[in-house]
Amino acid sequence: MAILYTVFMKRKAVSKIISDCGVFVKRQFEGLSLQKAFGYLGIEVAFILLFLAADLLTKRYVYGGMVASGKDIIIIKEVLRLTPVQNTGASFGIFQGHTDILSVVSVVTLFFVAVFMIFSLKNRNGWLRVGLVILIAGGIGNLIDRFTLGYVRDFIYFELINFAVFNVADSGLTVGVVLILIYVIFYYRPEEKKPSETRIK
């Protein structure tokens, strides 16, 4: 009897979790038609691909061109130059030599950010949406490098302040985080629960 009771309670707990998850999902898309949801998602995926293309193309032609020629490209003398650097760390050269760990962390992080992007489709705040798009694009750009090359191709160097060499994807990651923080600080408001949801059960 004790075993049956335990099995019954476990099944009941699992059913409750599944039910709660269903309610949560339904609430996230409440008031948003399927057509609109796919439309919003399609637009955001398109912008992710555009930003990703910009990152990969600059790495291939700008970085690749400098590697082939063996010469840097000076944009503003002693201020800004392009110079190819193989980065085995994270953005802006931190955590050097930990490519495998950073790859795993990047995959997990991108997964959760992508899930959040989908479940927050109803929230059309521009700061949040743009931040998520370029954050995901930047993360994918550097992840492709880590998986295919074992390092990230960096080439933008602010010589004036001796700043770490970075790339377009790093810029997306940084600006994306800043935009999301602006949203959280100035625009985010927790949803008020309905009376029926706050009553003591």
Two tokens, residue 8: 């019954």
Amino acid (1-letter code) at residue 74: I
| Entry field: residues in the chain | 201
62: CB partners within 8 A, 6+ apart: 73, 82, 155
User: Among all residues, which ones are annotated catalytic?
Assistant: 154, 170
Cβ burial of 83 (10 Å; 0-12, 13-18, 19+) is: middle
Please say whether the beta carbons of 53 and 138 come within 8 A. no
CA distance 154 to 129: 26
Phi, psi for residue 189 in degrees, rounded to 5: -135, 120
Residues pairing with 82 in the sheet = 73, 156
